[in-house]
Amino acid sequence: MLSALLLQSGYNAALVAIGAALLGFAAGMVGTFVNLRRRALVSDAMAHATLPGIGLGFLAMVALGGEGRALPGLLAGAALTAALGLWAVQALTRTRLTEDAAIAAVLSTFYGAGIVILTVIQTLGAGKPAGLETVLLGSTAGMLEMDAITLAIGGALVLAVLAVLRRALVMTAFDPGHAAMMGIRTRAMDTALMLLTLAVVLLGLRVVGLILIVALLVIPAAAARLWSDRAGVVAMIAGGIGAAAGHIGAALSATVPDLPTGPVIVLLCFAAFALSLILSPKRGLLRRLGHAG
Amino acid sequence: MVEPIPLTAEPALAIRDLRVSYGANPVLDGVTASLARGAMTAIIGPNGAGKSTLLKAALGLIPSLGGTALAFGKPVGQALPPIAYVPQRAAVDWDFPARALDVVLMGMYRRTGLLGRIGKAETTAAMECLSRLGMADFATRQIGALSGGQQQRVFLARALAQGAELYLLDEPFAGVDAATEAAIVTLLKSLRDEGRSIVAVHHDLSTVSAYFDRVLLLNRRTIAEGPVATTFRQEAVARTYGNQIATAIPA
């Protein structure tokens, strides 16, 4: 375990640990803005809506004569149906449906469609669908150098965009009316935030999986909020918590056979949240108990 | 920096035939109003009269079905820099991770821009705005840890930082105590005395005469608009509020 943490248990395990840490950092940072703009559940619906796209991407590639496992093809399909899911949530919210009902309907429908497509694929016997289901809960076992490099480049891009837009995103989340009057295009900012979230979801498919990626977005940010009253600082702390959870989680699952990576990372995020809840200087339970006594 | 506004006879805000509806219900049914420059104007009307909607639609924050709004003679979209909007307190997430100073710095976004870093000069200017409102000691407080009146002052400091000439306030006195209300009125009057224009959605009919120079009586349409002394009369207010006659108003 210790050797895995220190990146000394083999080249592949080191790649996975670094990749997971990068993903955790990007997810924690983006998640801070998702929380501030109250888009946590929308991002969950978007993550679940990637599943039918992964199946369709596989089928499209098989139809074109491939094995159907090329990652770019799967990601393109995932992005397509995720965007469709996001659009569906927005379209349903414009009817009399409330947003939470629209999210629940889209999340379950898209996920159901995805499971049906994956089941059909298993019975078709075309292409090589083995391992396709790992996108559900993540599996770092088969991660290659290519995957780690994709994570590094993708994560760096996400963070670069975030660095440029951070003030505009914070102002849009805090007071959209004022932000618009200061010349910020708030709708463009909301779209940018959703694209950043989508990027994190796609990057996280192999590591955490689409069912639990929302936890990596939301929980580190919620934990970090307990430590600071400044949005920028909250984002940095959330990135740190996400990175630590990703790194330790990947190391654990590399050490213990058959331990699912995604759930382990999520539980580590929750542990960080629980600790923050107890220890936070201003809002912590310990401090409150101290006041009571 | 915000360009100085040439002194012409243009009103601070000229609204013509503004129409807004939520679903099938018209909220503003062709509102026309001219809000004077260098004055404190109260927008008065019953619940559902469209007071907040008028401010938001005039600023383009919500879509309107028709009509125009000119600020200082220019379409509001082009005249945004010198306009400050202070939302209702209930519309703000007070748990947001921001300190009083951070909120005031948001008023300088046009100066710092997308990539612009916040340096010493910006922080100093923001602190001056907070000082002007007696809030310098609270600069590093999280906004949720401030009282209602202090929160209102932080938003006014943000408007000052913006270099605003026209202040649109949505119920600035809702949920603040009497002492704070007096402090805010004093501040607004000093801003007006410097030539700035103040427009506030206001609920308390008993303080209209003491606080404001002009009134806009609104109930989906403009009922009356003019100086408090001649416009804020029982008959006009009664027409604004339907049957509920306010006996405190001079006849």
Q: Which of A34, A174, A227, A233 is most worth mutating to test chain B (most B CB atoms within 10 A of its CB)?
A: A174
DSSP state of B65: S
Distance CA A24, CA A207 (A): 10
pLDDT the model gives residue B154 = 92
pLDDT tens for A146-165 read 888 888 899 999 999 999 99
Burial profile A92-118: b = 16 or more Cβ within 10 angstroms, e = fewer: bbeeeeeeeebbbebbebbbebbeebb
Per DSSP, chain B holds a count of helices (H) and strands (E) of 9, 10
Question: Whose CA is closest to B36, among B240, B232, B212?
Answer: B212
A276 in Cβ contact with A284 (< 8 Å): yes
Instruction: Write down how long chain A is.
Output: 293
Per DSSP, chain A holds a count of helices (H) and strands (E) of 14, 0
Query: CATH code at B228?
Result: 3.40.50.300
ipTM: 0.85
Find the domain containing B244 and state its range.
10-80+202-251
| Phi-psi region at B163: left, alpha or beta (left = phi > 0; alpha = psi -120 to 50) | left
Q: Residue B179, class by beta-carbon neighbours within 10 Å (0-12 exposed, 13-18 middle, 19+ buried)?
A: exposed
Residues in A 167-186 with any Cβ partner in B closer than 8 A: 167-168, 170-171, 173-175, 177-184
The DSSP bridge partners found for residue B35 are B13
Mean pLDDT lowest for which of A198-207, A255-264, A266-275?
A255-264
Q: Which residue has the higher pLDDT, A67 or B245?
A: A67
Q: Which residue has the higher pLDDT, A8 or A113?
A: A113
Are the beta carbons of B97 and A234 separated by less than 8 Å? Answer: yes
Interface residues on B facing A, Cβ-Cβ cutoff 8 A: 56, 59-61, 80-81, 83-85, 87, 92-93, 96-99, 102-103, 106-107, 109-110, 112, 114-115, 142, 158, 162
Residue B122 maps to a domain: no
**Helix, strand or coil for residue B68?**
strand
Domain spans of chain A, in order of start:
2-282
> In the CATH scheme, what is the code of domain A2-282?
1.10.3470.10
Give how many domains chain B has, as a whole number.
1
Residue B215 maps to a domain: yes
Average pLDDT of the residues in B49-54: 90
Are the beta carbons of B85 and A177 separated by less than 8 Å? Answer: yes
pTM of the model: 0.87
Residue B131 maps to a domain: no
The DSSP bridge partners found for residue B215 are B42, B226
Q: How far is B113 from chain A (nearest CA, A)?
A: 9
DSSP state of B4: P
pLDDT tens for B206-250 read 898 999 999 999 988 888 888 988 888 888 888 888 765 555 566
**Helix, strand or coil for residue B215?**
strand
Q: How far is B38 from chain A (nearest CA, A)?
A: 21
Nearest CB neighbour to B87, from listed A175, A182, A183? A175
Are the beta carbons of B109 and A182 separated by less than 8 Å? Answer: yes
Q: Which residue has the higher pLDDT, B75 or B116?
A: B75
A101 in Cβ contact with A94 (< 8 Å): no
Distance CA B199, CA B188 (A): 10
pLDDT tens for B150-166 read 898 899 899 989 988 89
Residue B163 maps to a domain: no
Q: Which helix (H) or strand (E) holds B86?
A: strand B83-86
Q: Which residues in chain A are contacts of B109 at CB distance < 8 A? A: 167-168, 171, 179, 182-184
Q: Tell whether A200 is within 8 A of chain B (Cβ).
A: no
B110 in Cβ contact with B125 (< 8 Å): no
Distance CA A17, CA A7 (A): 7
Bridging pattern class, strands B25-35 and B40-44: unpaired
Question: Tokens standing for B208?
Answer: 């209209």
